[in-house]
Amino acid sequence: MRAEIIAVGTEILLGEITNTTTPFVARELADLGIDVYYQSVVGDNTARLEAAIKLADSRSDLIILTGGLGPTKDDLTKQTLAAHLNEKLVVDEPAMAYIEAFFARSQQPMTENNRLQAMLPANSIPLKNPVGMAVGALYQAPAHTYMLLPGPPSELEAMFTDSARPLLIKQFKQANVLDSRVLRFHGIGESALVTQLADLIDQQTNPTIAPYAKTNEVTLRLTAEATDQTTADQLLAELEAKVQARVGQYFYGYGEHNSLEQVVVTLLKKRGLTITAAESLTAGLFQSMLANVSGASDIFNGGFVTYSLAEKANLLQISPEYLHKYGVVSEETAIAMARQAKLLLKSDIGISFTGVAGPDKLEGQPAGTVYIGIAYRDQIPFARKFVFSRTRNFVRQQSALTGFDLLYHLLDADK
Amino acid sequence: MRAEIIAVGTEILLGEITNTTTPFVARELADLGIDVYYQSVVGDNTARLEAAIKLADSRSDLIILTGGLGPTKDDLTKQTLAAHLNEKLVVDEPAMAYIEAFFARSQQPMTENNRLQAMLPANSIPLKNPVGMAVGALYQAPAHTYMLLPGPPSELEAMFTDSARPLLIKQFKQANVLDSRVLRFHGIGESALVTQLADLIDQQTNPTIAPYAKTNEVTLRLTAEATDQTTADQLLAELEAKVQARVGQYFYGYGEHNSLEQVVVTLLKKRGLTITAAESLTAGLFQSMLANVSGASDIFNGGFVTYSLAEKANLLQISPEYLHKYGVVSEETAIAMARQAKLLLKSDIGISFTGVAGPDKLEGQPAGTVYIGIAYRDQIPFARKFVFSRTRNFVRQQSALTGFDLLYHLLDADK
């Protein structure tokens, strides 16, 4: 079983975008025990794509084509594969209904090219696109299996996880049960995590361990193969216990589609606790992440963005003398911000962020210096200092995420 | 002149590391006017690497091999290329001296494999490695040019910039000037933009037009080739005029590294105007994007996140009767929020966001219904209704971006 991944797109060939979908698919295939022997990139050019498919036919069994399913003239992956297979392009009705509904709702004109996104080679199995318009496809030829996936990483990853992976498991893994468990970690980098689990990773056979560095977090996917589900569960449980014994302090939740903010919102809802925030350097990022979790309105009514010293005084009713005395980048100010936000919104929890996003210093403190304050029910409010590095945006994101991390541990400890 | 990049490394094939060196080399070559037609990845396997080189010989003129120059057993790029070229491996004396000095200094034992790092195919031009041990090489065969570069990005980038690029310029650079101009558009999808420019795109020869869909925006890169800079500028200006005549209403700025929020912040700074926001469904996202632009504190002091009806009343001092009468998802409420935020923060501009992020309806209005209000100086405040679709997160992002778009047009009109 030899697999090959062909990424289609002139913008990859020109180096204008970094190809992150091929590594994603490669890891997923490795996880399924499918060996990838070749990866290649071709531009939006029918003749060269056709040549790449022919070459792949000569050396691979499973051929995965990514990209070129968009609505513009230079998107021609589907057409080229259909011609290669001697199949017509046919409409996938659910995809067409989705696209038509999208344009009806948004009151934008729909073009012929948009219709093309709902088409796929005849006799394919459609792969649903949960976050975009282009439908994917799995096509079984006598000697080869072809798969069409969209180029944008969010679309490809969702389609692969939801539709392509189960089909590949069914097709290539029939004898045994294959089961996975995803563990999510925050506050530890990929290399540190991998170092702590080095011997487990080196010895892996069944279950396998696959670490993935995501934005600001790391996940581990444990995958077990067994003759039945009970044995697979047991294998996963045993390996997870070993992992948790070493890096459990960084663990916050399970699942492919999960996040630290989702876990925190769920905990708050379960406990019936409300939260508010006063944000300086993060300027609304924490509250925006909170509100991105569906149902956040049960636990969140609103809060403050207090970017300047004057608005920390005005909106939060903290005396300017206090702010000048301690400085805005200080433990004392972080505590006062959290306490006042909690008080003014009559919430169970107030959280605050103040610090130096950079690139310049503030109050003599270097870029990356951040204080996060928490006022929790009747407990004494506290603040913690962090020093983050890299870009302005990274400092702000790390700050907001670390706020969620502090809340998770606070709620987890106060059961 | 056709170039091909072959990255060597099983860890890339398995998706364990993301290949960032190929895009780097691709961009550099594009910048030199050298067309990259193929990129591929092969594992640390002599037979498959040899096959990849033979394939490249059949279709490319310049063949760049990256990776596999390290000191371990699975590093075999150099050996495979030397065999393919029928050349012996010979020592590069300066590289060997560097390696010997390194081991003498660090008092570590030097192995035979380390010596191998200083070797290259006979008759090559050595490429100095300023940050590592593996020497690179340029080899000129009758019909092909081969280049060996190390895998680690820092080594490859330094070697390319210092040694490889000057050699390639000497050898291949056309007499002509190559210049690009990037135009950025918001509020129009890639397919609609391309449809409006279809004939220009079809006829393109020089300058070329390359559309790219980015997150929530589209860019067009125009690239002209000419004998001198003045002619290139003129070609670009002529094409841009045609483009602007058709889709200029969606244009907001120039440059590869730019964004709508950056353009708006720059305009606000230039005019000496301050801004604040009252955000319901976006819950801080707009303010967070504002603060992500370095120097935003000159024009932004803070604002409100008013997620619930109660906090729209409490924080913004809008009467609950008013909110109940018109509903929170209404033109009237959007206007009141913008006006009150402006008033309470004493800003020149107040902007508000209220609507239904979804997935559920609110006040009988479907998910995606959004009102954006603007109170600008002494002008009569107004609000506009939008209907966005897709996911909760997408609706919120579109809302915030559309807020920037409204501001851009407002400021652009009020010159």
Cα distance from A210 to chain B (closest Cα, Å)?
9
User: Distance (Å, rounded) from C-alpha B246 to C-alpha A134?
Assistant: 27
Cα distance from B283 to chain A (closest Cα, Å)?
5
B-chain CB neighbours of A49 within 8 Å are none
Residue A342: pLDDT over 60: yes
A341's tokens: 């936000």
Closest by Cβ to A284, choosing from B25, B191, B305: B305
Among B260, B179, B175, B249, which Cα is nearest to B214's?
A: B260
C-alpha dihedral (A383, A384, A389, A394), degrees to nearest 10: -50
CATH 1.10.760.10 given to domain B2-171? no
Characterize the bridge pairing of strands B208-214 and B217-226: antiparallel
pLDDT at B202: 80
Neighbour tally for B363: CB within 10 Å? 11
Q: Residues of CATH 3.90.950.20 domain(s) within chain B?
A: 260-413
A-chain CB neighbours of B211 within 8 Å are 72
Burial, B211: exposed, middle or buried (Cβ in 10 Å; 0-12, 13-18, 19+)?
A: buried
pLDDT at A174: 54
pLDDT band at B114 (very low <50, low <70, confident <90, very high): confident
Residue B231: pLDDT over 90: yes
Q: What is the pLDDT of residues A42-52, one digit of tens each?
A: 988 999 999 99
Burial, A163: exposed, middle or buried (Cβ in 10 Å; 0-12, 13-18, 19+)?
A: buried
pLDDT band at A175 (very low <50, low <70, confident <90, very high): low
* Residues sharing a CB contact under 8 Å with residue B275, sequence separation 6 or more, in sequence order: B268, B290, B299, B300, B347, B348, B349, B350, B351, B407
Closest by Cβ to B297, choosing from A20, A30, A307: A307
* A18·B23 Cβ contact <8 A: yes
Q: Residues of CATH 3.40.980.10 domain(s) within chain A?
A: 2-171
Question: Which chain B residue lies closest to A101 (C-alpha atoms)?
Answer: B389
* B39·A40 Cβ contact <8 A: yes
Q: Which residues pair with A352 in a beta bridge?
A: A278, A373
Helix (H) or strand (E) holding A351: strand A349-355
Residue A359: asked if its preceding bond is cis (omega within 30°), the reply is: yes
User: Distance (Å, rounded) from C-alpha A139 to C-alpha A122?
Assistant: 9
Closest by Cβ to A392, choosing from B294, B303, B310: B294
Q: What is the pLDDT of residues B220-230, one digit of tens each?
A: 888 888 888 89
* B287·A292 Cβ contact <8 A: no
Q: Mean pLDDT highest for which of A37-41, A106-110, B129-133?
A: A37-41
pLDDT at A16: 76
Tell me the CATH number of domain B177-254, given options 3.30.70.2860, 1.20.120.1200, 3.40.50.10800, 3.30.930.10: 3.30.70.2860
User: Distance (Å, rounded) from C-alpha B174 to C-alpha B31?
Assistant: 11
Residue B344: pLDDT over 90: yes
Helix (H) or strand (E) holding B116: helix B112-116
B-chain CB neighbours of A37 within 8 Å are 13, 43, 48
User: Distance (Å, rounded) from C-alpha B126 to C-alpha A322?
Assistant: 64
Characterize the bridge pairing of strands A136-140 and A145-149: antiparallel
- E strands of B315-406, at which residues? 349-355, 369-376, 382-387
Handedness of CA B195, B197, B199, B203 (dihedral sign): negative
What is the DSSP-derived secondary structure letter of residue B164? I
pLDDT at B25: 94
* B18·A18 Cβ contact <8 A: yes
Closest by Cβ to A284, choosing from B198, B279, B294: B279
A-chain CB neighbours of B48 within 8 Å are 37-38
Q: Decide if A166 contacts A23 (C-beta within 8 A).
A: no
* B41·A37 Cβ contact <8 A: no
Q: Decide if A336 contacts A320 (C-beta within 8 A).
A: no
Closest by Cβ to B302, choosing from A15, A24, A308: A308
* B15·A38 Cβ contact <8 A: no
What type of residue sits at position B108? Q
User: Distance (Å, rounded) from C-alpha A81 to C-alpha A95?
Assistant: 19
pLDDT at B359: 83
User: Distance (Å, rounded) from C-alpha A407 to C-alpha B113?
Assistant: 51
Among B10, B52, B29, B25, which Cα is nearest to B149's?
A: B25
Q: Is B177 helix (H, G, I), strand (E, B) or coil?
A: strand
- E strands of A53-97, at which residues? 62-66, 89-91
* A26·B42 Cβ contact <8 A: no
A contact test, residue of B218, B262, B287 with most A CBs within 10 A: B287
Neighbour tally for B224: CB within 10 Å? 23
Q: What is the pLDDT of residues A232-283, one digit of tens each?
A: 999 999 999 999 999 999 999 998 779 999 999 999 999 999 999 999 999 9
Cα distance from A415 to chain B (closest Cα, Å)?
28
CATH 3.40.50.300 given to domain A260-413? no
